[in-house]
Structures are given as C-alpha cells and as structure tokens.
C-alpha cells in the first residue's frame, strides 16, 4: 500500500469527524472522561478495560476536532506513577443536538 492511500476505516473516521458525530469508541472515551472528571489516558484505559492505544487516538480526536475535551493539569498518574497530562470535558453533549453541533 502506498503512503498516499488511506485505509477504509480511516476514511470512515474522517467522514465522522467532518460530520462532527461522536459515536462508538469516541463516545465511550468521552463518557468515561465526563464520569471520572480529571483523568489521564491510562485511567481512561483502565476504566474502559481497553488498551492505551485505543484511547490516545480518541482523546486526540475529541480534543482537536470536536473540541469537547481539553487539558486539565499535569500530574502524577496513579496507574503509571509518571508525570502525565490529565483531561477534562470542556463542552457538554447536553448542549449539542443529536450528538452533533447545534445550529447557531
């Protein structure tokens, strides 16, 4: 596969981002962050019983494309015992229409 080709799953993910829909694994991660408040990627992975590589990408999408999760603080993670970034929900879905951006 050439470097300019995109896998079908990546195309679907990009389409969801463009449509600003948060569902599936992204929604699970969002809801875990909302439930736990301030939390690290490792804490989210432990809460959802998923590997860290399934968490970090979704957190980045929620931060960079959807703007619903943001930086909270830098602190020692209780799981890894390392200094890491902690995340928090900065925009609540309750203000969104059908899990998408509300018309303004």
**Residues 41-93: pLDDT tens digits?**
999 999 999 999 999 999 998 888 878 888 999 999 999 999 999 999 888 76
Rounded Cα gap, residues 8 and 19, in angstroms = 17
Rounded Cα gap, residues 86 and 20, in angstroms = 24
Q: Rg of the chain's alpha carbons, rounded to an integer?
A: 15
What token pair was written down for 103?
A: 């018309």
Note the pLDDT of residue 19: 58
List, in sequence order, every residue forming a beta bridge with 42; answer none if it has no partner. Answer: none
Which candidate, 30, 43, 102, 13, places its Cα nearest to that of 70?
30
Note the pLDDT of residue 22: 72
Domains of the chain: 10-92 (1.10.10.10)
**Residues 88-103: pLDDT tens digits?**
988 876 665 544 444 3
């Amino acid at each position: 596969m050439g470097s300019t080709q995109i896998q079908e799953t990546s195309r679907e993910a990009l389409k969801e981002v463009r449509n600003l829909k948060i569902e599936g694994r992204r929604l699970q991660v969002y809801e875990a962050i909302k439930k736990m408040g301030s939390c690290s990627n490792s804490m989210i992975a432990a809460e959802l019983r998923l590997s860290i590589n399934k968490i970090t990408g979704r957190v980045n999408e929620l931060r960079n494309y959807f703007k619903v999760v943001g930086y909270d603080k830098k602190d020692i993670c209780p799981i890894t015992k390392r200094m890491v970034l902690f995340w928090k929900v900065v925009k609540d879905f309750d203000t969104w229409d059908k899990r998408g951006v509300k018309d303004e």
